[in-house]
Structure 1
């Protein structure tokens, strides 16, 4: 997940996604111009199936997905 926080709840959401859950990357901070090269570089990193960074993000996203499924299942926590 690419994150580009601008205001309100987007900044704490970015912190969860990037820093806590480690399933995404921050593009730039508020007020900065996003260059196409930066977006292309991050997308290439995500699409590199053999890359350690993208492999780890996919693994963690899978764990988070499974945790959500369990919480929403019958007798789950949600």
Structure 2
């Protein structure tokens, strides 16, 4: 379950003051879904889940380029399977 997948960003972001062009996402758990089930807004729910999977603050996810966010969100959805 500790397998992580690397996702190359087309547009780098800053995490902890360091520019990065790759995020490493772990597989999604039921606990991740439970943690965001209260969120009614689909975009905020996606941001929160991505932040949990990449172990970065939601505010950092919010700085991502939309193209990168959509690409990673689409692939992260496959972690449910």
TM-score, with structure 1 as normaliser: 0.26
Higher relative contact order (CA 8 A, sep 6+): 2
Which has the greater radius of gyration? 1
- Pick the structure with more strand per residue: 2
- Pick the structure with more helix per residue: 1
TM-score, with structure 2 as normaliser: 0.26
